[in-house]
Amino acid sequence: MYWYEIEKIKFFQGMYLERSTIIFPHYQYHEEIFKRQKDGTRTPAYQIEFQRMQHPKQFHEGLMNAWASYQKERELTVKR
């Protein structure tokens, strides 16, 4: 998935120890993403589970920082 295809990124915490980062693609790119996927599944969001990572907090913070800088850059480009 490319940055321009993402609508939002959120942190999710379930009832127990479930924690994950959820990436929501913009609706207009669902078809393009589906064509690129090899398993052929359609989904409205992509979940990255923390329990499958070695350093999940650092991953989420890094992803959110990169997302914020991308959004700022995109806003500057649009204003020009």
pLDDT tens digits, 4-46: 999 999 999 988 878 999 999 998 998 888 888 877 777 888 8
- Beginning with the edge strand found earlier in the chain, give each strand of the sheet holding 46-49 in spatial order: 6-13, 19-25, 46-49
Query: Is-contact 44 79, C-beta < 8 A?
Result: no
Question: How much is the pTM?
Answer: 0.80
If you write DSSP's letter for every residue of 27-74 in order, what string do you get?
GGGHHHHHHH-SS----S-EEEEGGG-SSHHHHHHHHHHHHHHHHHHH
What does the CA dihedral 76, 63, 10, 26 come to, rounded to 10 degrees? 50
